[in-house]
Every structure is written in C-alpha cells, then in structure tokens.
Structure 1
Amino acid sequence: MSEQPRIRKMVLFKHGVAYLERSGPADGAFELSFKREEMSDVLKSLAAWVVRGDAQVNWVAFEKPEDPEQVLRDRNLGFAPGDALSGLLGALRGQKITLSAGGTAKSGELLGYQSVPGESGAEERVVVLRTAAGQLELVQLRTITGMELLEERSRSDVAFILDRSRAATSGENRAVRIHVEGRAEELRVSYVIPAPTWRVSYRVALTGDEAAIMGWGIVHNPAAEDIEGVQLTLTTGQPVSFLIDLYNPKTVARTVVEEQSRVASAPKKFEKARRASMGPAAAPAPMMFAMAAAPMAMDSDTPAGGFGASYEASVTPQAEGVDRGELFEYRIAAPVSIGRGGSAMVPLFLAKTPAKKERIWRDGEPPNPDLVLTFDNDTGVVLEEGPAVIYDGDVYAGESMVPYSARKAKVRLGFAKDLSVHCTGRAQSRTVFTSVQIVRGVLVEEFREETDHVFRVESDHQEPVDVVIEMPRDHTRTLNTAFAMPFEETEGFHRFKITAPPGGMGEITVQARWQRQARVQWQQVDQGRLGRWLSERFLDDGTIEKLRAVLALQDQERELERTLQSWRDHQTQVATRIERSRQQLGVLKDTGPEGELRLRYVRDLEAAQNQMAEADAAAETLVRQIAELQVDARAQLAAVLRDGKE
C-alpha cells in the first residue's frame, strides 16, 4: 500500500471547520484515518485529483460505522485476543485444512476440538479431523506448529477477521482508502473536517498620537497527526456550513403490503435508465495562496511588559491580508509546524495608525468615565473580535475586547476607569401648552414636552480634561439648538464634550423636546378653557365667540335640566301622597268619625292629582325645550368645527 500524501495546506475558518489539502506521490492505494465524528464532513467534501503523473483515481472506500467486534460476533468469527488458535479453529469448523504436527501433515475437514484425558491422566485438547478416507483423526493441539487453509472461503474469513480486528484496535478512528491506478508523481487530496475555531488576540501600544497594533492568531491542530511545514491560512467571514449524516446508512421505511389471493399476472418488465459514461473526474480548482514576508524574529532585550517602538524592529508580520469577496484571509507566509494535539500562536500583522485617548461617560452609568483608545482601522486588514492588552507607552494600562471591524471602521477600546474624574447627570421635565386646533372636525390640544439634561464633570487632574458625554438617542425627540448640541452622533447616542479646568468643574445643559397631542371632548370645554385659548391666541376671535354661543346654549340646557330634575323630584313626592291617600280610603268607612276623615283624604287626593298633572305638563315642556337646545347647540358646534376643518 502506498504512503499517504502529507498535509501541505490548511485553511481554518471561524465557524468551526478546517480545509486540509494533502500533496505527494502515490503508487497504488493508500489509507487516511479519521475520527468517527469527522466522517460525515469528509464524505461531504473529499476530493482527489492527479496533478502530475500517469495515474487515475478510481474510487474511495471507507469503513462502515458499525462496531467491528460486533460484526465479527454476528458472523461467528469473534474470539478473544488471548484465545486466537482455539477461537480460529472454532470459526473454521467444516472447512478443509492441513495441520502441521509432530513433523507430519494431516489434512481433512475440521470438526472442532475438545478436551480428552491424556496419558498422564491430565486433560488435554485435541483437534478432530475427518480425513479423505472418512476416518476421524485426533491431533493434539499442543503439537500443532502450522495450519494451511485449503478453501478460499477460509482464507477470506481470516482476512476479514484481520481487517475487522485492525479496525477494532484503532478505536473510534475510521479508515478511508483511496484507490489509485498507476503512479502519480503528485496527487492531491482535499477535505473539510470539524476544527476548533481560530482566534485572535491583540497588543496595542499608544505612544503620543499613534498606536501600534499587533495581532496574533491562535490555532489548534485539527488533524490526528503532526503537521510540518504547512501553508496556513486563517479566514474571516462566515461561509454556509452545516452537519449532515452521510456516514451512517439511511434506511427508508417502506409500507408493508399483504398479497391478495388471485391469479398471478405475468411479470412486468421495465427498461433500465441509461447511465452516462463516467470518465476520470476533472481536478477541482485548487486554492491559490500567495506567500510573502520573512520569519518573525524576537528581540530578547525587549523590556518585560513593554510593547513600544522596539517591537517594530523585532517582529516582522508573517501574514498577508487578502480579500476574497465576502471573506478576508490572513495568509501566513512562513510554513507552520504543529504537533498532534498541539496549538500555536502566529503573528498576523503589525501596523501603526493615528489614535487618541478619550474619556467617555455614558448617562446612567457609575460616575467614573471610561478611558477609551479610539482609532480608525487603517491597518489594512479586517480585525476579528478578540481580546486586546493596552499599553500606554511601555506600561500595561488595561485590557479590552476588539469588536469585529472592517477596514476604515471606527474602533473604540475601553480599557480602564479614570478615578480622578466624577460625572453626574440629572433631568428635569415640564409640559408646555402650545396650541389648539380643529383637525378633521375634532378639537385637538398640542403640548410640547421638554426635558433639561444637566451634565456635570468634576476633575482632580492638574491639567484640563475633556470628557465625552454619551446620551442615549430617542428618535421621537429633537434637541433644542438653543442649548448644548452634540459634536458627533452614533447609532444609539448623542455625543457631547465637556472640558473641566484643572481641579475644577464643567457643565452643560441639553434640552430634548417632543410634541404630544390630546383630543378634547366638548364636555371638557368651559368658559375658563375658552378664555385661555383666546388669551394665548390659539383660536381667532370669531371662532371663540361662536364657541361661547355654543357654551351659552349648553348653559341654558344645564339650567333647564336642573329645573326638570326639580319637577321630577316633586312628582315623586306627589305620587307618594297619592298612594298613601288611596291606601287610607280603602280602609275608612263612609259614616261617623271615619266618614269625616275619609272626606279630608278625598280632598287631599284630588289636590295631589291636580299637582301631578301640573308637574307632568311642566316636565314635558322642559324635555321639549332641552331637546331643542341640544339640536341648536349641536348644529352651531358642527358649523364651527366645519368652518375650522383642515
């Protein structure tokens, strides 16, 4: 079997896969070993092609996902490693063999073996053969020095036992055998396997108005072997990738149908589909990587904790940043070697860019502002998310997280708190009545809500200090230009600047405004409200006077309603008198003293009935007058609202 080609190229992606490419000579079949959990990705992605040489890749074979030991047991070929001879004899029963024992060859069909009493009385095991003459011959197991398998089936079983035993000793690894016909001077095999995502960490040194940024890639060897002199590429972006089980056989459930008893029909014949001729597959286009730059050199005299100007002279970046459409690649120039199960750090880039140190405080947070390193990503590469250690000169200053940043993007890294600066914010709100309008036949009052945000910065520094105040943006509010205005806007914040003098305090006021409307029900309008609208000149005199006329009608209506209620209360009292008089008349006699009393109740009942008739007439008149006033008031109000309709 040919030696497997070595890994020459490795591309690591951020979403948990690695592209590996092997290259080397091949003369016949060779095997690659993969973990069981890698097999689905391998079967999904494996490609093999000849670059140079007179050879052809015929097919790729791979081990089934079943347990090798169980497969042997299922075929009655399984036995313990310490019982190889007796186990093999048990597996070959009924097959023709030749045993070499005691210097002679004994041939026959194997019946088995058993224990029998020996000459010394101790039991010993013997092999039982049936010879060509039909005789049974016993061969002492301890005297056997060799065995020849005379049948192809026996030799095939032994080969299968060896193959499955080899698979069993490989643990969870699975063999993939690539069959090559002819000799290839250079054969390439590529595939994708699961891999730990590569990561990045940064060192950022601020010197004056310039920052030196160095990125290191952290990679892990995903292959189950040492890799030496590999071309390594680290890729950003997120290509589509998914898991699909191509390794375990998929069995489709079929419907069970019971046959019916009837006369059998002649079998129907179907033509086979024509298969297209399958010639040698064209080689997939290889990924091309341009490598440049020299190996990194480390200066052992660099001070501990320092990351200053001396790094520029002592570290040569080993990666070339390359755009690949939606992806960005770091192509490591120097070949990389990583031991099996090992990891490595590789320098990706070293770049300088203008930078500044800011103090930023966000409204609502604790009082001390963040110290923030701010720069545009002018490094020429895409910055992946990762931790960063910040140095101010050669002094460790703090740590931060670099967000994913495209080239030219603004980057801000908060790395510490300034305990010598204290920031506060307070807010005071008020409502200002601004107008009343007739909108689509509806009275609408408009208000302006105002909130004054007062931000204060107190500093203990001996020099002036600028602090950037971030106030959350609310897209429903506008800022009053008569107050402090932001010097910069972000997606979520207004940014203001406050300068605090040495050992002093700075303060600004920001006013946020927004409009609010409220529908006014006519029942809520009174003379006082009309007077306010008139004094503020929200409505013209003519409209106000018309509304006053409507209010006057409503006042008359309310007065009549009060009068009507008085008559109804009187009706209730009279009805009570009438009912009481009728009850008394029902029990009094017509003669004697009761007759005189009865006469008084009759006169009282007649007077009460007259009063009830008068009350009914008055109430009826009032109801009619109220209805007329309501109609008149609604008509006049509708005319006012119609004349003022926008």
Structure 2
Amino acid sequence: MRHLLASLALLGLFAFPTLAFAQDLALKRVMLSSGGMGYFEYEATVEGDATLKLTVSLQQVDDVLKSLVVYDDKGGVGGLSLPGREPLAQAFKDLPFDQASLGSPAELLATLKGAQVTVGGSRAISGRIVSVQEETVALGNDKGTTTRTRVTLYTERGLQQFILEDAENLQFADPALRDKVGQALVAIQGNRAKDARTIELSTRGTGKRTVRVAYIVEAPVWKASYRLTLGADPSAARSALQGWATIENLSGQDWKNVELTLVSGRPVAFRQALYNAYYVTRPEVPVEVAGRLVPGIDRGGVQADQRSKASSPPMPAPAPYRAQQERTMLPAATPPPPPPVAAAADQIEASDAATQVVFKFPRAVSVDNGRTLSIPIIDRQVPAMRMALYQADTAARNPLAAIRLTNDGESGLPPGIITIYERDKGGSVAYVGDARLSGFPVGETRLLAYALDEKIIIERDVSQADRLATGTISQGVLKLSRIVRQTTTYRVRGPAKEPRQLVVVQRRLPGWTLTKPDAKGIDISEGNYRIPFALPGGDQTQTFEVVQEQAQQQELRLVDGAADQIRVYALAREFDAKTRDALAKVLQLQQSVAEAERKGKQVDTERQQIVQEQARLRENLARVPANSDLQRRYLATLDKQESELETLAKRKAEAENGVETARDALRTFVASLG
C-alpha cells in the first residue's frame, strides 16, 4: 500500500486525458514605449479551426485581457479561456475533499468516511469506511516501534479491520468518486507553474493562413542617451550627434529575430483588474414568518380633504572661444589622434507621429531574457553653437558653459542624457561634461549646460523703485497710476582674450513688462526670460540692466481723503494742470471744513470749562453761611456763567451750521469734477 497514492494518480490521469496538441504562437514583433508599455505580436500558421496556446505571467493577465487583439484575414476569433486566478481553490470547490486530504492515503480515507471501498490481496474486504486510526506497535527482537494505520470498514459481516500499509490495492467502488480524485490530481499537476497562466485562443476559419495575436503589457522604460562631439573650430556651425537606445528584456521569454520598434511618447495607459472576480452586493430580505396576530389600537383620524396642502532678435554669431580646453586631462604620453566617431552600422528609420516619435530597426533583433541591449538610433550632424548660460539659482557667481542645439532633422528626439566631448586642433578628444536633453521636437532649440565656466565672473544686484505716472478724477475719486520698476544690474567680467556670447536667465515677474532691453526676439522658457548679451573680451567690466515694470492702480476718495496726501498730489508734475488745480481747490475746501470744525471744538472747550467751574461753585455754596457776602458773590458768578452758556449754545449752533455748509461746498465741488 506504500504506492497507493501513485495508483490513485494513475486513475485520475486515465479519467481525464490532457487536451489535444495546440499550435504554439511565435513572437515576431516587439514595440517598446518610453511610457513603460510594450507591444508584443505573435504569429502562427494554422489550417481550419485551431486552438492557439499562449503562456503569460500571472501579473500580465489583466493587461492581456484588456488589450489582446487577433488579426485573421480568412477567419474569426472564437474566444479565449484560461484557468482562474485561484485554479486549485476552484478545482476543489465542489469536491468532497480538499487539497490537504491528498497528502497521504490515510488522510484521504479519513476525509471520505462512509465511502464504499474494496481492498484486494490475501484478505479481500469490501465495505464502507467507518474510521481511520494510527497506532504504534512494537517491532520484534527489540527493534523499536513503528506507526501503522488501522482502517475499520462496515461490511455485510459487520465491522472488519485491516492494516492500510499491508493492503496490496484499494479502490473506491463509486466511479464518480474515482473521477473526482483523478480530476483533483490533474488540477495539482497543471498548477505547477503557479505564477503563469496558459491562454487557449480558439480561431475558426478555412484553409491555411497566418494568424497574428498581439497585446499590450507593462514593460521596462527604454532609455535614450546621446554623444555630442564638438569640432576643433569653436565657430563651426555643426557638430556630430549620436544617440543610443538602451532596452531590457524582462518579459520572461527570449526574443529571437524579432522586429523591434522603439516609441518615444507619453500615452495615457490604464490598468484594470479584469482577472479578479466581482460580485454585486444584494440586499438581504428577512424570511417572512407568520406570527401571532396582535390588532393595533385605533386612535382616530381626520378626513383626507381636511389636511393642509405646499492671458530676441536672432543672436549674433558667437565669437570663437575655447570653452573647456583647460580642463583636458593630461595623459602620460600624447596618444595618436583618434579616428572620427564610428557611424551606426544600420540606418534606423525615424518618423514623427501625432504624439510620439517612432524608431524602427531595419533588421531583426535577438535579446535573451534577462539581458540588456544598447544600439545607436541617431547619427547625424546638427547645428550647435557654444555660449555661456547664466542661471543665478544654479551658480550665483559664474555662468555655465553651454551649447545651443537646433533640431533641423526630420524627426523629434526623445529625452535623455547627453555626453559632450571636445576635439582639439590636434584631433584628440576630451570629455567636457554631461547635459540633460528634454523631448526635442523638429525645429526647436535647446540650451545644454554641461560645465561651470570660471573664466566669467558675474555680480548681480536687484533694486526696486516706484513713481507716479498719471492721475484723473472721476465721480469724486482720484484714480492714480503708479509705475513700479525692478532693475536687475549685471556686472560681468569675461576672459581678457576670448569674446563670449552670454545668455542670462532672468525670472519673469507675472503681470510685469520687460522694458529693458528690447523684448523683441528674447526667449521665454518656463517662466524665465533668456536674454543674450555679447562680451567683446578684454579686462573691462561690462554692465547690463534688465528692467521690468508694472503699472499699479490706486484710488483716493477726495471727500474724506487725507489732506497730506492730497497736498502731495496737488503738487505732482505728473498730473495735468487742470487736475492739480482741482486738487488745490479740494484742499482749500477741506481747510474750510477743518476751520469750521475747529470753531465748534473751541465752543465745546469753553462750555466744558464753565461747567467745571459751576460745579466747583455749587460745592462751595454748600459750605458758606446763608446771606453772606461770599454766598452773594458765588450766586452772581453763577448767574453770569449761565448767560455765557446761553451765548455758547448759540455759537455752537452757528459752528455746526458752518461745518455743514463747508462740507456741502466740498461735496458739491467734488461731485462736479470728472
């Protein structure tokens, strides 16, 4: 019985034979996108109806289900099928035992308690399984102990037992149960590649034909890198540019003689878990059970009808200069001048599409799984101008040595690192720095900074001032226009014997206007001005100014405006004479209002003094003898002060009338302006 489980496996295999041979698909085309997606196209030659098998990794199944497409000119696609995400769990879902039960014959028999079995051998038994128990028995001659399995069956002769390890064979009497055991063993065998799924694709048609199957899945981003070799003549208009593409094959399969295409672009790509099972949540309705009847209490009501109702000119040609020759590393012995940069062996076909650049290789490519390939995709002469680029945020004191590169080719260039070399007059080549190239459409230019240019020293100062520009009066409001000016002064000292072309990157202030230098022809890039200046060479320091201005509007109500402000504006020469005269008149009328208000306050002060004096006198009257001379003096003084208060009351009324009259005159005049 030691090989009983193997016998059960054979039964299962006989019960469930494998599928007939299906034709395999061969990988023919690969297209890699810089957006991190890969297009894989397979081919197979079929005749009539056929089943095609395609094995993909588990993590790719969602993308394959989302994007798989079949091309068959003489037939149609019938559909595809593949094991579920948890194939073993599904296989055992409806079986009377689980996967753990197939760990040993004893575990299987214990799980299938009650099943009819037949045991063959010297002691044949047939019956239903009652119990399966392990027991420990001693071996003869003091050789220790061993564990065996005792199985109890219910037979026609009652309960009978046998030792499982001693049985020569055991068979389930029920054919359906034998089939289920075999089905489970086949499922276990087919799940060995647990991280892969084999898709079976059916095609229907007539005759011999080629069927192509393609899909889009996640793939490593391919990278572009460049080599730019500057000529020995600094004034040369063109330089040699060579671009390389680096790709990785991490697809899980070898690429043998495939047609390879590289695409540079940013496609919108989604991922959806189509391989997962989803269920719609349904509300649970309780079971209705007839219960005890309990009539409700009638509490009366009302009749239904009684209810209530309800937004630089072209740069001069750069003067020659030697940007980085001082940085050349000195070898122990001068090597012979190297030959020109080797050209690409194959001419890559590059083309511009609506949203991407496509590079198609002219011959088949082979890349083993897990290996990296780097091959040239660009090889041509491009316009390249040397210059100095000043970015204060990068280096405050020195500009960067840079190249102004122009794409005058027939296709754009993908982004990547560009390594820059410089050839001297003897033909030797030296490395001078790296730069970063962004996506480079046809006809555009890029400034590539690759090293610090310490021969140029720059000092930078920023100042700000404002001035009145214009002023008008409308509906009693003085509307002012002020000009705020920010001036950035650059003091530049370049090499004594080397003229340079300098480009200054100056932050563009939102809502401001560049007034110096002339904005015509000056580039704007990512919120910055790129302003060219020519350095003629020599020891003298050159001074350049960059001025930006903004007009700011202010308003001042003349009726209640501060007199000091109005006095300043009345003298402002930026305003016309009529406006200044009107402001002078407003100032005069405001003074009249102020004078009237002063008189009213003076009356209030005098009255307050009398009231305080009367309070003192009344306090003294309470302490002096009646009918005394002092009492009579106090009373006479109080009488006189009462007369004065009456006079002050009249003066107060006159002062208030004067204030109102002055204010009316001011309001009337202001309303007449504008």
Give me the TM-score of the superposition, normalised by structure 2: 0.76
Supply the distance in 2 between the matched residues of 1:605 and 1:462 (Cα, whole angstroms): 101
Matched residue, 1:270 = none
Label 1:126 to 1:411 Cα distance change in 2 as closer, same or farther (>3 A). Answer: same
Q: 1:389 aligns with which of 419, 426, 439?
A: 419
Q: CA deviation at 1:171?
A: 3.0
Report matched runs for 1:419-438 at 5 Å.
419-438=454-473
How many residues get paired? Answer: 587
- Residues 176-201 of structure 1 deviation map (CA, whole Å, 9 limit, x = unaligned): 23346799653332222222222222
Label 1:459 to 1:218 Cα distance change in 2 as closer, same or farther (>3 A). Answer: same
Matched residue, 1:415 = 450
Matched residue, 2:571 = 532
Q: 1:18 aligns with which of 22, 38, 42?
A: 38
| Structure 1 runs not aligned, ≥5 long | 263-302
Q: Are 2:29 and 2:259, in contact at CA under 8 Å, matched by a contact in 1? A: yes
Per mean C-alpha deviation after superposition, the further-off stretch among 604-613 and 372-381 is 372-381
Per mean C-alpha deviation after superposition, the further-off stretch among 240-249 and 438-447 is 438-447
Q: Are 1:318 and 1:334, in contact at CA under 8 Å, matched by a contact in 2? A: no
SS in 2 for 1:520: strand
Q: 2:523 aligns with which of 467, 489, 504?
A: 489
Supply the distance in 1 between the matched residues of 2:252 and 2:574 (Cα, whole angstroms): 86
Q: Is residue 219 from structure 1 mapped to residue 247 from structure 2 by the alignment?
A: yes
Report matched runs for 1:243-282 at 5 Å.
243-260=271-288
Look up the equivalent residue of 2:509 and give its one-letter code: D
Q: Are 1:38 and 1:193, in contact at CA under 8 Å, matched by a contact in 2? A: yes
Matched residue, 2:615 = 579
Report matched runs for 1:3-402 at 5 Å.
3-25=23-45, 29=51, 31-48=53-70, 50=72, 57-66=77-86, 68=88, 72=92, 75-79=96-100, 83=103, 86=106, 111=129, 124-125=148-149, 138=162, 141=165, 144=168, 152-179=175-202, 186-207=210-231, 208-260=236-288, 309-312=340-343, 315-317=344-346, 319-363=348-392, 365-393=395-423, 394-402=429-437
Supply the distance in 2 between the matched residues of 1:307 and 1:170 (Cα, whole angstroms): 54
Q: Are 2:502 and 2:533, in contact at CA under 8 Å, matched by a contact in 1? A: yes
Supply the distance in 1 between the matched residues of 2:215 and 2:642 (Cα, whole angstroms): 111
- Residues 67-110 of structure 1 deviation map (CA, whole Å, 9 limit, x = unaligned): 637964975242488x55555666676667777758x9x69567
Look up the equivalent residue of 2:97 and give its one-letter code: N
Look up the equivalent residue of 1:381 and give its one-letter code: S
Q: CA deviation at 1:18?
A: 1.7
Look up the equivalent residue of 1:359 and give its one-letter code: A
Q: CA deviation at 1:493?
A: 0.6
Label 1:507 to 1:579 Cα distance change in 2 as closer, same or farther (>3 A). Answer: closer
Q: Is residue 597 from structure 1 mapped to residue 630 from structure 2 by the alignment?
A: yes
Q: CA deviation at 1:549?
A: 4.5
Supply the distance in 1 between the matched residues of 2:278 and 2:336 (Cα, whole angstroms): 58
Supply the distance in 1 between the matched residues of 2:193 and 2:575 (Cα, whole angstroms): 91
Supply the distance in 1 between the matched residues of 2:128 and 2:72 (Cα, whole angstroms): 49
Look up the equivalent residue of 2:86 and give its one-letter code: E
Supply the distance in 1 between the matched residues of 2:125 and 2:255 (Cα, whole angstroms): 52
Q: Are 1:391 and 1:397, in contact at CA under 8 Å, matched by a contact in 2? A: yes
Q: Are 2:128 and 2:155, in contact at CA under 8 Å, matched by a contact in 1? A: no
Q: CA deviation at 1:212?
A: 2.1
Look up the equivalent residue of 2:183 and give its one-letter code: F
Matched residue, 2:319 = none
Look up the equivalent residue of 1:554 and give its one-letter code: Q
- Residues 126-158 of structure 1 deviation map (CA, whole Å, 9 limit, x = unaligned): 7778899999685864563x7777754245324
SS in 2 for 1:236: strand
Supply the distance in 2 between the matched residues of 1:305 and 1:240 (Cα, whole angstroms): 51
Q: Are 1:487 and 1:497, in contact at CA under 8 Å, matched by a contact in 2? A: no
Q: Are 1:221 and 1:339, in contact at CA under 8 Å, matched by a contact in 2? A: yes
Q: Are 1:203 and 1:215, in contact at CA under 8 Å, matched by a contact in 2? A: yes
Backbone CA RMSD of aligned residues? 3.8
Look up the equivalent residue of 2:60 and give its one-letter code: E
Supply the distance in 1 between the matched residues of 2:538 and 2:35 (Cα, whole angstroms): 50
Q: CA deviation at 1:224?
A: 1.9
- Residues 469-520 of structure 1 deviation map (CA, whole Å, 9 limit, x = unaligned): 2222235333446x67665222431412131414543222333333333333
Q: CA deviation at 1:453?
A: 2.9
Supply the distance in 1 between the matched residues of 2:222 and 2:254 (Cα, whole angstroms): 18
Q: Are 1:131 and 1:137, in contact at CA under 8 Å, matched by a contact in 2? A: no
- Residues 422-441 of structure 1 deviation map (CA, whole Å, 9 limit, x = unaligned): 12222333333333322444
Look up the equivalent residue of 1:510 and give its one-letter code: V
Label 1:504 to 1:544 Cα distance change in 2 as closer, same or farther (>3 A). Answer: closer
Q: 1:558 aligns with which of 588, 594, 603?
A: 594
Q: CA deviation at 1:251?
A: 1.1
Look up the equivalent residue of 1:256 and give its one-letter code: E
Q: Are 1:8 and 1:231, in contact at CA under 8 Å, matched by a contact in 2? A: yes
Q: Is residue 469 from structure 1 mapped to residue 504 from structure 2 by the alignment?
A: yes
Q: CA deviation at 1:206?
A: 2.1
Supply the distance in 2 between the matched residues of 1:179 and 1:107 (Cα, whole angstroms): 49
Q: CA deviation at 1:45?
A: 2.0
Label 1:551 to 1:305 Cα distance change in 2 as closer, same or farther (>3 A). Answer: farther
Per mean C-alpha deviation after superposition, the further-off stretch among 67-76 and 409-418 is 67-76
Q: Are 2:226 and 2:417, in contact at CA under 8 Å, matched by a contact in 1? A: yes
Per mean C-alpha deviation after superposition, the further-off stretch among 18-27 and 384-393 is 18-27
Supply the distance in 2 between the matched residues of 1:530 and 1:381 (Cα, whole angstroms): 61
| Structure 2 runs not aligned, ≥5 long | 1-20, 141-145, 291-333, 424-428
Look up the equivalent residue of 2:465 and give its one-letter code: R
Query: Percent identity among equivalent residues?
Result: 20
Q: Are 1:194 and 1:222, in contact at CA under 8 Å, matched by a contact in 2? A: no
SS in 2 for 1:624: helix
Q: Are 1:371 and 1:418, in contact at CA under 8 Å, matched by a contact in 2? A: yes
Label 1:324 to 1:142 Cα distance change in 2 as closer, same or farther (>3 A). Answer: farther
Look up the equivalent residue of 1:540 and give its one-letter code: A
Look up the equivalent residue of 1:311 and give its one-letter code: A
SS in 1 for 2:363: coil
Matched residue, 1:300 = none
Q: Are 1:46 and 1:189, in contact at CA under 8 Å, matched by a contact in 2? A: yes
Q: CA deviation at 1:568?
A: 1.7
Supply the distance in 2 between the matched residues of 1:395 and 1:345 (Cα, whole angstroms): 23
Supply the distance in 2 between the matched residues of 1:17 and 1:547 (Cα, whole angstroms): 72
Supply the distance in 1 between the matched residues of 2:657 and 2:116 (Cα, whole angstroms): 127
Q: CA deviation at 1:360?
A: 1.0
Supply the distance in 2 between the matched residues of 1:346 and 1:134 (Cα, whole angstroms): 82
Q: CA deviation at 1:32?
A: 3.0
Matched residue, 1:459 = 494
Q: 1:609 aligns with which of 638, 642, 658?
A: 642
SS in 1 for 2:359: strand
